[in-house]
Amino acid sequence: MTDATTADRGEEAQQTYNGLPGAFLYAVRTSESWLFKGYVVLALLLSLAIGLVFVFGLVSILAQTSSVRGGTFTFSRSFFLFVGVLVVAPLLAPVLLVARRHRRSASSVTYDRGLALSALLFVASLYVGLVVSVPPQLQEPTGSAVVATLYGLPQIAGLVPPLVAVGVMYAVHRLLR
């Protein structure tokens, strides 16, 4: 590193990012991995899209259960929000981890790239999990053996691919830090 680069990095370390939007900008600015920068854009778009789907779903649930008093329905509303957080949090975690690492110490391109790859694996696992969890009445006939196999699995097995991908993401974070 040159002295100018070291001075720039020291100045960036002095600046802090305020909250999640600032972490996105900070991570893009400080990372040298183009793969990670691409993932940041994808994570932002997916998080917004998933957030909108869950907000509209929550509005629908509230409309359907508005005349019912608390109890089970209150729990189902809260659980719906909890599931939304469980889906979005692993999308945002790599961005926050890289921003934190760049702010606290010198991060490597290998770390940024490894987290981006494991996060892309998580995105793919969400798709696989959704295919597995499609109800039988909504499944479309397909000539693909892979999709037919995924349709044949029990719906609860749709949780396995995202959980495995989160475990891989955590392992990559621990190994490369």
Q: Is 7 inside any structural domain? A: no
Is 138 a member of any domain?
yes
Host domain of residue 38: 17-176
In a domain, 12, yes or no: no
pLDDT at position 171: 97
Tell me if 103 is assigned to some domain.
Answer: yes
Decide if 11 is inside a domain: no
For the stretch 153-173, pLDDT in tens is 999 999 999 999 999 999 999
Whether the pLDDT of residue 70 is over 90: the answer is: no
Residue 6, in any domain of the structure: no
Asked whether residue 10 is domain-assigned, the answer is no
* 56 located within any domain: yes
The whole-chain average pLDDT of the chain stands at 86
Residue located via tokens 């693909």: 144
Q: Euclidean distance between the first and final Cα of the chain, in Å?
A: 20
Q: 49 φ, ψ to 5°?
A: -65, -45
**Would you tell me the crossing angle of helices 72-104 and 34-64 to the nearest 10 degrees?**
160
pLDDT score, position 13: 46
What pLDDT is attached to residue 73?
Answer: 65
Sign of CA dihedral 18, 21, 23, 25: negative
Give the per-residue pLDDT at 8.
52
75 band by pLDDT with thresholds 50, 70 and 90? confident
Q: Give the E-state strand segments of the chain in sequence order.
A: none
pLDDT single digits (tens) 115-149: 999 999 999 999 999 999 999 999 888 889 999 99
In the chain, the number of structural domains is 1
Q: Is the pLDDT of residue 107 over 80?
A: no
- What pLDDT is recorded for position 67? 74
Checking if the pLDDT of 110 tops 70, the result is yes
- pLDDT reported for residue 72: 65
